[in-house]
Chains A and B, each alone.
Chain A
């Protein structure tokens, strides 16, 4: 039984590594076949200077050699040097900015779990009541509200005091210097996943409530509270667990817009600027980083899932 889990885990890890290798290679290829080099500018550089720059970054080598060096660097932890931020390595930039984004993503995820799951459970246990309807209306609104609208509106209300002048300056609109700076961004980012969790939890709880073993438990005279927490919740939270992986990865990449709005020094702002700057090493590094995060979080969830629900292992 245990070895079954191990084999399953090993297989999934191997798959994940292959996937990441293919992504790394494809992105590398993609950026090399793009028209226009990274150092083309409006004003043509003298040939010697251009040659010098290209030699410095190894761009004068044949593509296959560059690819080999790139792969070697990926494994040894040398992800190259940024073209734009001269003298700074990609790993430096990542290790400086990723913790901020991770913090933002993690708090938002926690917030959404704390709000979403209880809301979904209560709504399901009070199925078809006014509470249920209201909660689900709020949840569906949360799904429908884009963060780039919520963010600016919150900034307007709390930092500029529009239209409530007494709120003027109560919460800082930008930066990431302390807990009070985190409230608005975390709220903005956490709203949508909270709504998703609430809707999903309600659905799975409702499904579990209708199962025979719940009817049996009730018929036995088990108190309603125990039925809900012991019989229903344990089974209905498993599917909810599966979306946490992609949701967290989504929060990390989706935090980009929040970082722009609230001027948070996270990794998100590099995502767009590195592409438009043609900062290839940074683009490669970020694509790989985000993909790794997604793949790893899916992997963790998969393995956890197969641990709590052994049927999964057999199916695959």
Chain B
């Protein structure tokens, strides 16, 4: 009943609907990058470097003659993968941590929350850089792309799960007091069953809303790390790598403008989608 009303409210929000279609488009483009991109992300053509947009190269070429349009599509794959995978990891870790902390309560809860406070006291950028460096110095993977990607995933997940853990804990604390949970406990349901069957569906809304804001934040962090040279490195493509290329090539504006637009539109779509979702689920705001 409530969810269908929320659904109707959401559908009426045109900006949110357009956003979700745009995001689906970007995700599909990234998923099927090989089929859509006219060129490979690493093929160079030294005869045609730093060209502006043309019929052959819609977004122009970079300093090594690589097709920018294709690189942006392959970059979408990387950015989306990072955003979504880190969100999943954060939900799993943060969800379990928050649920355990909120369910057990007492000194365990206090201790677990203090640990989170400490992680929170390190600015996320500093933490990202520290964790990224620790991870890369162990280098558990041979493949450089996987190595860079897992490093970023690891760093972003460590930063991202904290706020989810807090959210889930708060919601579990509230939900524990609800009558139907008390009823389930009285009927002898195990804590795990109560958490997954009775509490989880109730706190899904706020978690999803938080995710729609965390995914773009993660995409931005990935771009940031790649931009400063701690994330992916060329020839691999991500929007941060491309922005870095564009910033270095100061006289070719298309190299920063197109990746910039891709990043901007994606961030905008996620934010509008998240706003729409939040308003639909919680009409007070």
Contacts and interface: CB of A to CB of B under 8 A. Distances in A.
B162 interface: no
Contact of A148 (B122, B123, B224): B224
Interface of B: 117-118, 121-123, 125-126, 129-130, 133-134, 137-138, 216, 220, 223-224, 227-230, 240, 243-244, 246-247, 250-251, 253, 256-257, 259-260, 263-265, 267-268, 271-272, 275, 285
10 contacts: A143-B267, A144-B264, A146-B264, A156-B250, A163-B253, A256-B228, A257-B224, A271-B129, A290-B126, A294-B121
A286 interface: yes
Contact of A156 (B117, B133, B256, B264): B256
A291 B129 CA distance: 14
A158 to B, nearest CB: 12
Interface in A145-181: 145-146, 148-149, 151-153, 155-156, 160, 162-163
Contacts of A207: 285
Interface string A287-304: 100110111001000000
B121 A295 contact: yes
A153 B260 contact: yes
Interface of A: 15, 19-20, 22-23, 26-27, 30, 34-36, 140-141, 143-146, 148-149, 151-153, 155-156, 160, 162-163, 203, 207, 249-250, 252-254, 256-257, 260-261, 271-272, 275-276, 283, 286-287, 290-291, 293-295, 298
A291 B123 contact: yes
Contacts of A156: 250, 253, 256
Nearest to B259: A149
Contacts, number: 122
Contact of B130 (A27, A153, A162): A27
A264 to B, nearest CB: 15
Contact of A272 (B117, B129, B244, B256): B129
Contacts of A260: 228
Given A144-B267, A207-B285, 7 more contacts: A34-B137, A162-B253, A250-B123, A260-B228, A286-B126, A287-B122, A291-B123
Nearest to A269: B228
A153 to B, nearest CB: 6
Main secondary structure of the interface of B (DSSP, over half): helix
A298 B122 CA distance: 12
Contact of B247 (A145, A152, A276): A152
A3 B208 CA distance: 42
Given A144-B264, A152-B247, A35 B137 contact: yes
A165 to B, nearest CB: 13
Contacts of B118: 19, 22-23, 26
Nearest to B129: A275
A36 B138 CA distance: 10
A30 B130 contact: yes
Given A160-B250, A290-B123, A35 B267 contact: no
Contacts of A283: 130
Given A36-B137, A146-B223, A271-B129, A257 B122 contact: no
A26 B263 CA distance: 35
Contacts of B216: 144
A146 B267 contact: yes
Contacts of B253: 153, 156, 162-163
A291 B121 contact: yes
A253 B264 CA distance: 22
A268 B231 CA distance: 18
Nearest to A157: B253
Nearest to A203: B285
Contacts of B227: 148, 257
A141 B264 contact: yes
Contacts of A160: 250-251
